Amino acid sequence: MLGIGLVVTSAFILHSYKNFKVQQGFVSLPLSFDPYTSVSTYDWNGNKVSIQGGFVKGKMVDNSNKESLLLRSLSPTPIVSFKSKIDKSYSIRLENVNPAMIKTNDQIGNLKTIDQHTISFTVELQANQPKTFKFELNAAENPEVIMLGDNRNGYGTFSNIIDQVNAIKPAFVVDNGDLVYGGEPNRYRLFYETVSKLQVPLYTTLGNHDIRENGLPIYTELFGPAYYSFDYLKNHFIFLDSSRGWAEKTAIPPEQYLWLEADLKKAQGKRIFVVSHIPPTDPRANVTPNTYPESPKTGVLQKLMNKLSGTSDIDHAFTDKAEAKKFEDLMTKYKVDTVFLSHIHSFFSFVRGNVRYVITGGAGAELLSEGSEYHYIRVHITDDENYLEIVELPSPPNLIIDRYWAAAQLFISSTYKEYSSLVLAIGIFVALIIAWILWVLRHKWWPFLKKLVRWIYEVVKLAGHKYNEIVRNK
């Protein structure tokens, strides 16, 4: 029985590690998204459902087998459109919104809050009568934006940042890559579990770690297209995919550059922010070596892992310097205000070609470069200007044991949410096996337990006598 229990438990843990069930009843759909129009469309049994500023993520099926369509917002102002060939009622869920800060028109029925990220509503359509619903983020109280990057496997630090962000209540958060240490399903599970606490929308871009271990498909399933853009107030945000730039010569493919330039042209007259992961230029390139910060308390194992990482003194910019110049020339040509990057686990701000480049890679991954601190950026936005406020956090060594302990806690919590009935069943099964083993071996431990109980009783009894003697003497 013990062998069976170990086999069952091991098989379950292995299955959980290699498979991530996003939500109960969720069925993902292939991504359909046009970055030029920011529109995603789905043909739902011959009827057309579209979202501009988001994508159709999948279907939700409840216990009564009723279907609803799950959309994920990629913009503070998503627009959902319907066109039906027949009279039909649609059930929709829209995630990655803040239900407390979202406005819409009055035509939506049964608008409900599912959780702190998701709303649901029902749409009644008549045949061949299109309907459009516009949603808008009401961020008048605090229009600021939070920028961060490279949280990766620094679960404790990243969780602390999320708690602080929830207290700030910004319009939204941008994570500019390396959401996970590697692209395995379980690592995305841990990230998903961590950001489930976030109470504002989260917009992401890909980092080089996110596509490792074939991570791109699960990123796409969870967060959608690799590149996209949106307007916010008088600003335009562009999200790029430079994730392949660490392992390949070309960081950003030609088709993405075509879209980028077209999008930059359309955005002229607005303040433009570009978000990507790998910087075209490493500001530390002439600094040797770029060592990991170490303290007297840094252990031998940690120092060894730092050396084996082999990345602390490598140029972290685009491999192709001609591409780096092409990218920077584009930013200058179209008068981009700020390019937000990460990849280097530190903070840097510099200007090239009249464009400000900000590297913010301090959301949890091991720090690179002396003097680095864990941090995030509050981007204060007004009609006339924007300014950055760097918020630093206590920056103890990101020790290996701490990372694995935090990962284990997240794994247990998230796995229980996904497989609560199965986890309980396995727990009961394991408990029964332990009880059976104790019963079989009772002749070995029962006499010892009786002696132990007798010893504890005598110790307590003696302590009571001594206490009474001391009290009487006084």
pLDDT-based confidence at residue 289 (cuts at 50, 70, 90)? very low
* pLDDT above 90: residue 421: no
CA distance 40 to 49: 8
Alpha carbon 450 to its chain centroid, in Å, reads 52
Model confidence band, residue 45 (pLDDT cutoffs 50, 70, 90) = confident
Q: What percent of the chain has pLDDT over 70?
A: 80
Q: Is the pLDDT assigned to residue 396 strictly greater than 70?
A: no
Is the per-residue pLDDT at 55 higher than 90? yes
Chain segment 8-34, per-residue pLDDT in tens: 555 655 555 556 666 778 899 999 999
Closest CA to 311 of 463, 178, 168: 178
* pLDDT average, residue stretch 419-437: 73
Model confidence pLDDT, tens digit, residues 440-464: 888 888 888 888 888 998 888 888 8
pLDDT of the residue at 310? 45
Nearest to 191 by CA among 166, 222, 167, 224: 222
Angle at 31 between CA 29 and CA 36, to 5 degrees: 150
* Span 95-107, average pLDDT: 85
Please check whether residue 125 is in contact with residue 82, taking contact to mean a CB–CB distance below 8 angstroms: yes
The answer to whether the Cα torsion of 157, 217, 338, 138 is positive or negative is negative
- Are 363 and 150 in contact by the 8 Å Cβ rule? The answer is yes
The mean pLDDT of 232-237, rounded to a whole number, is 94
Question: For the chain, how big is the Rg over CA atoms in Å?
Answer: 27
Check: CB of residue 360 under 8 Å from CB of residue 372. Answer: no
**Which is higher by pLDDT, 436 or 120?**
120
In 176-316, where do the E strands start and end? 202-204, 228-232, 235-239, 271-275
Closest CA to 283 of 339, 365, 201: 339
Residue 290 pLDDT exceeds 50: no
Give me the amino acid identity at 93: R
Cα-based distances in Å from 116 to 61, 100, 137, 162, 410: 20, 8, 14, 14, 20
What's residue 332's pLDDT?
98
- Which pLDDT belongs to residue 208? 94
- Cβ atoms 134, 104 nearer than 8 A: yes
Q: Is beta strand 39-44 parallel, antiparallel or unpaired with respect to 235-239?
A: unpaired
Residue 110, pLDDT score: 81
What's the angle, vertex CA 251, arms to CA 250 and CA 252, rounded to 5? Answer: 100
Residue-level pLDDT at 34:
97
